Amino acid sequence: MSHIDAPAPAKPDSEHLPFKRWLAVVAVAVGTFLVVTAEQLPVGLLTSVGGDLGVSEGAAGLMVTVPGLVAAASALLVPVVIGRLDRRVVLLALITLMVAANVLSFLAPNFPILLASRFLVGVSIGGFWALAAGIAVRLVPDGHVPRATSIAFGGATAANVLGVPAGTLIGGLTDWRIAFLTLAGLGLLAVTALFALLPSIPASGSIRLGALFGLFGNPVVRAATMTTFLLVTGHMAAYTFISPILQDVSGISEDLIGPLLLVFGAAGIVGTFAAGAAAGRNVRATIVAVSVALTLVLVLFPLAGATQATGIAFLVLWGLAFGGVPVGVQMWIFKAAPDHAEAATALNTVLFNLAIAVGALLGGLVVDAASTTAVLWLAAIFTALTFLAVRTARRT
């Protein structure tokens, strides 16, 4: 294997880059797709898991809360703890941990064991996601960095819009345990690809917690990360319970949830590309538009989504709106801190995962104490607060 002791020097865009390096970048993106999918996989399986293991839908939401909290911590700590370890070894260890955790989920005889497996998933998610983009960039010369970065982040974006519906469809066609086992099998393929394609990647430096938190002094980074927290918290408070929402509010059969979440995912991909193009022209206006659209969907869903047709329509609009969140916020952060993109991205990863956990937890409490309608309105409160976060930042 070749060794990369420091980021590659700038080279002309026209220089030939070995195809194996692009395959390595894609393998990193696939790994990111799988670990982020592992985090959110239970979203579409709550009803079947709760029924099988004898827990309420709110309690079953802890399968999302636990890895989200752990991932937020590991995104901070893993880059610090690993010190000078070869990044190739670290990525392989983290994706292998994800595989083992999903096998344990498949075998779990009760809910506490299942939650223990979700804890391990959280460790894998935070560390892998925090390191993946920086590693992908080091695999290519400077002229190819934008494309490599897009591919690396594309894995997480694809997981947010496609991973969950695909897992839900597998669980609906077979059994929720098979969905976890399928993800473990795909993880083994990713381990094999990473082992074969990644060169040795020695640490180029160390990351200190103080440098990460110091970025909060940048008002735009602060506003962008708070925007991430508010939008993702609101989204996950409701989306974690999308299966009971569609059943209770819109009268949609449980058998249709998986296919409809694939529709949601497709809409999310469209929203991602649309928001990416719009953010290139005016990133703040794009984020405001996304937050307005998401808030309106969440407010109107319980009022006008009481039929199957309108419920499906609101689900599509929801996917379009949320698909623009990750790319819009990430572009805002890149513009705000171009010289600290890696640290700012790690900080945003922490807030993203913390928001997943908080949203799922609050949503579970509201679903158990009130109703699925109430959780939609709770979600809308969080997304509406985004306007305050955006207003605190100077124009970029």
Average pLDDT, the chain: 83
Q: For residue 11, what pLDDT band results from cuts at 50, 70 and 90?
A: very low
pLDDT at 43: 78
pLDDT score of 163 more than 90: no
pLDDT > 50? residue 378: yes
The yes-or-no verdict on residue 95 having pLDDT over 90 is yes
Model confidence at 396: pLDDT above 70: no
177 vs 79: which has the higher pLDDT: 177
Task: Please say if the pLDDT value at position 205 is more than 70.
Answer: no
- Phi and psi at 339, nearest 5°, equal -90, -5
Per-residue model confidence as pLDDT tens digits over 246-303: 999 999 988 888 788 888 888 888 888 888 788 878 888 899 999 999 999 999 999 9
**Tens-place pLDDT, residues 44-82:** 788 888 889 988 877 888 898 899 889 888 888 887 787
Measured in residues, the chain has a length of 396
* Segment 325-357, tens digit of pLDDT: 887 887 788 777 777 766 777 788 888 888 988
For residue 3, what is the DSSP state? B
State the pLDDT confidence band at 133, using cuts at 50, 70 and 90: low
Judge whether residue 35 has pLDDT over 80: yes
In angstroms, the CA 312 to CA 352 distance is 26
Q: What percent of the chain is predicted at pLDDT more than 90?
A: 34
The answer to whether 348 and 224 are in contact (CB under 8 A) is yes
**What percent of the chain is modeled with pLDDT above 70?**
88
Q: Which residue from 27, 329, 315 is spatially nearest to 197, judged by alpha carbons?
A: 27
Dihedral sign computed on CA atoms, order 378, 320, 40, 90: negative
- Helices 325-336, 341-369: inter-axial angle, 10-degree rounding: 140
